[in-house]
Amino acid sequence: MCYASAIRYAGRFRAAQCTVAISNFVSFLENTQSYRRDLRRIEYGDERDPVQRAKLTKISPLTRIAEIKMPLFIVTGGNDPRVPPSEAAQVVKAVRGNGGNVWHMIASDEGHGYRKKANVDYNFWAQMLFWQKYLLN
């Protein structure tokens, strides 16, 4: 929802912070851990079906990523079995390729969300700097 909100409500937000967000439903389904894949296909649709694949591509934030003009802070777990780090990497590459501003925090020793105190603390202070720069200034 973070990327979709950054696209749809661009005029209402100054910046966005996205944690473990899906950027492309097709690549998400292809790269999420295999034990989760069939359940996610029930939830989102089956990317192996050409009609579903086209629909999933159409609704994926990555399809409209050029519309994101606001600064993004993206938080990723390097070992996330649910939303692979490649989802964030696609957005970072695309937004920066369009001249956009992205802060990307990836903790290589975390999964889906941060649990370790050092990572939680670092994430907190990095976000404070981000919001100070883009919301309060």
List of the chain residues with pLDDT < 50: none
**CATH number, span 2-136:** 3.40.50.1820
User: What is the pLDDT, as a whole number, of residue 137?
Assistant: 78
Query: Given CA atoms 68, 72, 75, 79 in this order, what sign does their dihedral have?
Result: positive
- CA-nearest of 67, 53, 107 to 85 is 107
Handedness of CA 82, 88, 90, 95 (dihedral sign): positive
Domain boundaries, the chain: 2-136
For the chain, what is the mean pLDDT? Answer: 96
pLDDT value of position 67: 95
User: In 32-122, at which residue ranges do the beta strands (DSSP E only) sit?
Assistant: 72-77, 102-107
pLDDT at 99: 96
